[in-house]
Structure 1
């Protein structure tokens, strides 16, 4: 995925369309309008309340009757998609076929097949495709990534990543496996998989063992329920152990526990949320019993991934093969976790 920092001045004004402006879609739109020279020309949103709220920030935008109106709009450079997961792949493909760059909420697709189809459309159109895997763009995680990449804590042999959310999603479609593609792994675990694989340079994963639960009972492949707790153990080609846990509605004693810890031959490093926050993070470096704090809040990271996407588009760049292949690799791991490889 594209990881350059946003530039202060974009090279061209971008005209963007937005499909879905619920709270996350509206947040991404507001950050793009605030931090880039992009303008919102069109919005497709079935909820009248959401649309009216979005128009408070995008005063010159036109409300479209359907997403098709955005695909057909020749004035749009890109489309931002924040709709239910079942719609992501097809909407992305339609936008790309129409010659628009795409910034999509995760997951890009419910399966690796869907993701591969979107990537193929992006390559054929030579348009930039990005996914809002937002935690890698926090200053705290970037600090952890950098010290691992420059070898400060040696060769990584183990990683433990956790995302426990004391609340479950408030939209019914999250709990319908046909619409969501999966439960807490698809919703939260995808971030953990991305952080682990990105930090370790996307190694081949030779083994995946998963334990998925619904209301405390283990799921099997024949179940149609989505998991609300998952524990996953992976082993890379270099025998690095990667352990993941994620959940909805866990009695964690706080709103959220979000951590990514990496252990190397010369020390350790961690990305951690602060006081149960979904938004505040710190980074730490470990040597034996000593802790060095690398980054502390505040960090206005929400929407940063979209700003970078817009920046790269403004520079005239199209399809990025490296980031596209990362999306496919992540989706293949998720398929293996769900036993549908």
Structure 2
């Protein structure tokens, strides 16, 4: 197929991470970037040695002969930009969350099917050795029937871009539930072989953001901007096979330190992902297995996979349809929290 020509749309914090990853992958050349802030687009293009920059992504799609784009913009732009790129005949790697709701995510999947182009959601934790190791233990039957999963990402002071699009529900879709949950909710569903969700009971809280407390280092704050999202959310998700997933996500909490976890309970064994541990019975004893894992650059591995899918015409991991289901669950959490009632699928 030859060298893959790439454009990156949005070159703020996560856009630069994508650029670094692309430059670490063979047979790939980033030929252009787009950002609505011209000075930022110019500066990033110069610092990464990229020949051209734009302030309008549609102009880039029209003028450049691109094989692929990364979409690294605010959440509300993910769906329209993805659809435009796919219709322009360009393969898409879209940052998480897939969109601001499941309806917008479905538009992306429909466009990918209509154009026969690759759509991949950037859920980089799938490419960690920790996640791959746990998945292999699951596949080999060490856990048996997984009936309960518990996942969480909890921060002490991590509200991103206070007052910016991050904390504006119309532009972000929500707070930590839509910002952080896609990663570990995706992992739980993947480990459990994507059982169909049938019910959700969700709760949200905003205890620090409205007081302009607990800012994090990610994003660019905008003084006087809105904060109308949660800073902590949690939910119980019921699945068709009788299993349950518990999810909790926070940008700000009164806890000892930032923590992330993914716990699986099966009838033959249990697992923790961070760091990987397996708990089971062997030779009449309850034992703990600690696999050796390698530290890898999640973004480089993710983009290697994306490029390979384009070169070989194979389906990406994760699939767009899986991303839509994750968004349906997140939508249901917000609806349940708003109404105080369980949402049934």
Alignment match, 1:268: 270
Structure 1 unaligned runs (5+)?
1-10, 218-223, 273-281
> How many Å separate the matches in 2 of 1:111 and 1:33?
32
The Cα of 1:79 is off from its aligned counterpart by 0.9
The Cα of 1:250 is off from its aligned counterpart by 1.5
Alignment match, 1:283: 276
> How many Å separate the matches in 2 of 1:156 and 1:268?
8
The Cα of 1:193 is off from its aligned counterpart by 1.5
Task: Within 5 Å, give how 1:177-188 maps onto structure 2.
Answer: 177-188=169-180
Task: Within 5 Å, give how 1:1-341 maps onto structure 2.
Answer: 12-48=2-38, 50-56=40-46, 58-166=48-156, 167-170=158-161, 172-215=164-207, 225-254=228-257, 256-272=258-274, 282-287=275-280, 290-296=287-293, 298-315=295-312, 317=313, 323-339=319-335
Structure 2 unaligned runs (5+)?
210-226, 337-342
The Cα of 1:265 is off from its aligned counterpart by 0.9
Classify the secondary structure of the residue corresponding to 2:319.
helix
Distance 1:138-1:320 versus aligned 2 partners, 3 A rule: closer
> How many Å separate the matches in 2 of 1:259 and 1:49?
39
> How many Å separate the matches in 1 of 2:317 and 2:86?
15
The Cα of 1:216 is off from its aligned counterpart by 7.3
Classify the secondary structure of the residue corresponding to 1:154.
coil
The Cα of 1:44 is off from its aligned counterpart by 0.5
TM-score, length-normalised on structure 1? 0.86
Residue-pair matches, total: 314
The CA RMSD measured in Å over matched residues stands at 2.2
Bigger drift between 68-77 and 229-238 goes to: 68-77
User: Where in structure 1 do 4 or more consecutive aligned residues deviate above 3 Å?
Assistant: 47-50, 318-322
The Cα of 1:287 is off from its aligned counterpart by 2.1
